[in-house]
A and B are shown apart, each in its own frame.
Chain A
Amino acid sequence: MTVAQEPQSLQFECETGNYHTFCPISCVAWLYQKIEDSFFLVIGTKTCGYFLQNAMGVMIFAEPRYAMAELEEGDISAQLNDYEELKRLCVQIKRDRNPSVIVWIGTCTTEIIKMDLEGLAPRLEAEIGIPIVTARANGLDYAFTQGEDTVLAAMVHKCPSQAPVKEAEKEERNAISKLLNFGRKKEEVVAEESEYVDHPPLVLFGSMPDPVVTNLTLELKKQGIKVSGWLPSKRYTELPVLEEGYYVAGVNPFLSRTATTLMRRRKCKLIGAPFPIGPDGTRAWIEKICSVFGIEPKGLDEREAQIWASLEDYIQLIRGKSVFFMGDNLLEISLARFLIRCGMTCPEIGIPYMDKRYQAAELALLEKTCQEMGVPTPKIIEKPDNYNQIQRIYELKPDLVITGMAHANPLEARGINTKWSVEFTFAQIHGFTNSRDILELATRPLRRNSSLKDLGWDKLVKEEAKV
């Protein structure tokens, strides 16, 4: 199967779009945690609320900073005034939680009844004195992680357009720490500044857990690159400055709207790079950023080699095996590229939506990786059809299927190893350091099933007699 073939270019297909994925409103679950002073208000129906409640499981009970504005029959038939209703709820939120920003998440229902959230927001914002960001993260247009894309694209408009005279305010706030560091502070700052090469400001976009932010920032610092800001930042009040001509780079493959908005509306320059997923991706990402700034990357060879060496025990488990992506979170291209580099083959990559421009560098790296590893290039299926995919899975018998929870248990019961794809969205998978975590996830079903393999229990459903 892995006989070297003529290099082929990637094939793209599009199916029916009958596939399972999470509703994009799920992005509130990680974004409210990331942006600590935010409050997310999902304007939708019981269906939306039920999804969030069940999908987010235990997090619901931790006093989340998100809620439903549940639409009732009177809202649908316009007997109630949208503005007054939203005002009532937002005033209540302001009173109870006092957030720095309220993010309205528009849903399918607000789309269909054409509730003008973008129009209402500025009026209400002025009236209640809290910024309101409007994102249309609905299932009519988007899948799962694209929800984050719509929110970040909306936040781009709220980023300050020039560096404020921050110094004074900052010193004020840090008065105590300044006292403690008396006399030392200034030298430190100077010393720190000199560690960086002189390059135009770089802002990264994509919501990452704080440890990954620190990690990637440090990784770039080693090359003398300074990260001027990150969209989103820990707090809404700390959104990065975006001036015309700033450079921006994405860390996740599903952020194409955000990238477009940054380029078109804020006149930033997008660095199109593969995404820092896996040691190969991380290296390519850093190299591309370096090359844009005319920096010769240092020590990346050794760094990458060292990471690969540390992954060897996991790679042994998957080398020569095949992986099938059913597709639901848009991380598929990057993950497939990394797993192919690990020695796997990949007959099919399902993906909800494929932005060939935003992912151009990642696609090129995928193609190159396939050539270098001597494996056929995967078929990329946009808007897949889960039913057809399952028929193909039965035919191809892949060693691992990366899929949503709706299909995972039924496939396992039929003797097919699966990994739940949503875990890749919530686990820390970016940068050199987290490469191991990706493989930890990808090999888990193989490790588990190899420890059970002598029991003879791999097929746990009776063959269905089809009429």
Chain B
Amino acid sequence: MKLAYWMYAGPAHIGTLRIASSFKNVHAIMHAPLGDDYFNVMRSMLERERDYTPVTASIVDRNVLARGSQEKVVDNITRKDKEETPDLIVLTPTCTSSILQEDLNNFVERAQIEAKADVMLADVNHYRVNELQAGDRTLDQIVQYYIEKARRKGELPEGKTEKPSVNIIGISTLGFHNQHDCTELKRLMADLGIEVNEVIPEGASVNNLKNLPRAWFNLIPYREIGMMSARYLEEQFGTPYVDITPMGVVETARCIRKIQQILNAQGADVNYEEFIENQTLYVSQAAWFSRSIDCQNLTGKKAVVFGDNTHAAAMTKILAREMGIHVVLAGTYCKYDADWFREQVSEYCDEILISDDNGAIGDAIARIEPSAIFGTQMERHVGKRLDIPCGVIAAPIHIQNFPIGYKPFMGYEGTNQIADLVYNSFTLGMEDHLLEIFGGHDTKEVIHKGISADSDLNWNKEAQAELNKVPGFVRGKVKRNTEKFARERGFNEITLEVMYAAKEAVGA
């Protein structure tokens, strides 16, 4: 047993559901107790989804516990097959079903006889893998399933596309800025004259997965999701993959050069050097920003970076290499892939922290006292408490990290967004100096009464105590409304009764 207040990566089934519901017309059925379908709330809330999340639960209740699921799971699968006519139904085990040890494979086989849709059991062990690993695995499983299916039916298309083309693998729902990254990557491919063959899983149809081998190469923007599929496709079809995350000016260039090399090896004759130079020097503002006097003021400032492998590694490199910021500590919660992270960042930071214990990161931040933190929502809250600004760069995230405006982290527009994020997270240059010279902001002492809300009315003890129980953000309003009510009726003392009367009358 582990005492835990917070976790960075979710349970395995979340990863499976993220993949399944990213595809078009794929339905996931969770074998789970009541209340475990919280994924639907997250997707509906965070992504502001207009459509129903294609996830239902086959409820495990007391009866199931006593007698087994029997027909229930099979019935739920065939019912969903009729109601929604999905292409694929993914039966998703949860922590509960992994200990019930029901033969879910058998349910899948039985349901497959009747269902028009393909039916598959997500092959993930709740106690061994987390959300990210499960997502990677499920995507791989679905890709393999449809490649094998096409192969059996002899429907696997021959050869590559005429022009250089790419599969972008790993864009998924509830991923950090995934939608924006996807748009930016497509734009980048268009600029490079590369056709986008398939984007998976987001918005893809499983019927198109058989086309994956037609691409000249695969691009895996995120370390966490897509690597297994890329390796499978390489092994089966010899499709090379690029796993350099195009995040930051230097890495984007490196990614593009790698693409160039791969394409040329297959007989294309492309040279992207001019494009890279033009983008770097004149289109993206990030390289110029690093050179500008603003960024000078950031030189040597201390920062802490924490997040998933992809974002924490890329951010560390950007801060250290492109902005001259002193990254004291870089860390990741992807413990299962720690070696990769160490290798990526070791030359760009003083310390490396591999941990999924938020307390350990909090303590490290308190000890280091950086000028800024780049982390998850958890680090943002640590920053709030310690009065250190924080830019959010990785999941776990809240609704404010699903912006409506265009905010990619990848590609050349991504470099601009990151420059803004970094710049806004540090106290601005000149302001910083002025604060030093004048000894801090002078805002405490009241100079004029404009923003004061003190009044002449007397609150008795009980009423004052009651008022203090009102949550801070509405207390002022309640106070004003109550006093207005009291004044209008000529009370000069505010008692509990007056408070309630005011509330009843004006909704104070």
Residues of chain A at the chain B interface (Cβ within 8 Å): 17-25, 43, 45-47, 49-51, 53-55, 57, 60-61, 64, 67-73, 75-76, 80, 85-86, 88-89, 92-93, 108-109, 111-113, 138-144, 209-211, 214-215, 218, 306-307, 310, 387, 390, 404-410, 413, 432-434, 436-437, 440, 460-461, 466-467
Contact = CB atoms under 8 A, between A and B. Distances in A.
Contacts of B503: 433-434, 436
B1 A140 contact: no
Interface string B36-77: 111011101100111111001111111001000000000010
Nearest to B503: A433
B507 interface: yes
A404 B39 CA distance: 12
Interface string B112-128: 00000000000000111
Contacts of A108: 33, 60, 95-96
A306 B504 contact: yes
B4 A406 contact: no
Given A21-B35, A92-B3, A139-B36, A47 B504 contact: no
A410 B50 contact: yes
Given A49-B4, A50-B10, A112-B96, A141 B41 contact: no
Interface string B407-443: 0000000000000000000000000000000000000
A55 to B, nearest CB: 7
Given A18-B56, A387-B83, A139 B7 contact: no
Q: Which of B58, B128, B504 has the most CB of A within 10 A?
A: B504
B7 A49 contact: yes
B1 A109 contact: no
Given A70-B2, A70-B4, A75-B1, A409 B50 contact: yes
Interface in B469-508: 469-470, 496-497, 500, 503-505, 507
Contact of A67 (B4, B56, B396, B497): B4
Given A138-B33, A436-B507, 9 more contacts: A47-B95, A53-B6, A53-B7, A60-B6, A76-B99, A108-B95, A108-B96, A140-B34, A405-B44
A59 to B, nearest CB: 11
B38 A440 contact: no
A286 B94 CA distance: 46
B398 interface: yes
A460 B13 CA distance: 30
Contacts of A43: 1
Nearest to A74: B1
B500 A46 contact: no
Contact of A140 (B56, B58, B65): B65
B257 interface: no
Contacts of A138: 33
25 contacts: A17-B59, A18-B59, A20-B41, A23-B38, A46-B10, A47-B126, A51-B38, A53-B7, A54-B38, A60-B5, A61-B378, A67-B3, A68-B3, A68-B4, A112-B100, A140-B62, A143-B35, A218-B496, A387-B83, A409-B44, A409-B50, A410-B50, A410-B52, A432-B504, A461-B51
Nearest to A412: B50
A324 to B, nearest CB: 16
Q: Which 10 A-B pairs have the closest CB atoms?
A: A23-B35, A139-B33, A406-B40, A413-B50, A61-B381, A46-B11, A45-B95, A85-B1, A139-B35, A73-B127
B444 to A, nearest CB: 25
Nearest to B500: A433
Contacts of B33: 23, 108, 138-140
Contacts of A67: 3-5
Contacts of A46: 7, 10-11, 95, 126, 130
B329 interface: no
A45 B470 contact: no
A92 B507 CA distance: 45
Interface string B357-399: 0000000000000000000001001001000000000001010
B205 interface: no
B148 interface: no
A218 to B, nearest CB: 7
A68 B65 contact: no
A406 B50 contact: no
A361 to B, nearest CB: 25
A85 B11 CA distance: 22
B34 A139 contact: yes
A89 B40 contact: no
A55 B36 CA distance: 12
Given A23-B34, A140-B61, A409 B2 contact: no
Contacts of B2: 68-70, 72
Contact of A50 (B7, B45, B500): B7
Contacts of B52: 390, 406-407, 410
B44 A47 contact: no
B191 interface: no
B3 A215 contact: no
B38 A55 contact: yes
Contacts of B470: 211
B14 interface: yes
A21 B52 CA distance: 15
Contacts of B496: 214, 218
B1 A433 contact: no
Contacts of A23: 33-36, 38
Contacts of B7: 46, 49-50, 53
A99 to B, nearest CB: 14
Contacts of A460: 50
B294 interface: no
Contacts of B384: 61
A299 B251 CA distance: 76
Contacts of B396: 53
B466 interface: yes
A75 B53 CA distance: 33
Given A406-B41, A410-B49, A111 B6 contact: no
B144 interface: no
A159 to B, nearest CB: 25
Contacts of A466: 85
B126 A45 contact: yes
Nearest to B41: A405
A17 B34 contact: yes
A109 B49 contact: no
Listed residue (B59, B94, B381) with the most chain A CB atoms within 10 angstroms of its CB: B59
B36 A387 contact: no
A406 B13 CA distance: 17
A315 to B, nearest CB: 14
B96 A88 contact: no
Contacts of A140: 33-34, 60-62, 65
Nearest to B57: A18
B469 A211 contact: yes
Nearest to A352: B34
Given A76-B99, A109-B99, A405-B45, A69 B3 contact: yes
A64 B5 contact: yes
Nearest to B5: A67
Contact of A54 (B42, B100, B378): B42
A47 B33 CA distance: 11
Given A20-B40, A88-B1, A218-B496, A51 B35 contact: yes
Contacts of B57: 18
Contacts of A215: 500
A432 B505 CA distance: 11
Contact of B35 (A88, A113, A144, A387): A144
A398 B60 CA distance: 31
B3 A89 contact: yes
A212 to B, nearest CB: 10
Contacts of A45: 11, 95, 126
A436 to B, nearest CB: 5
A141 B59 CA distance: 11
B27 to A, nearest CB: 11
Nearest to A436: B507
A138 to B, nearest CB: 7
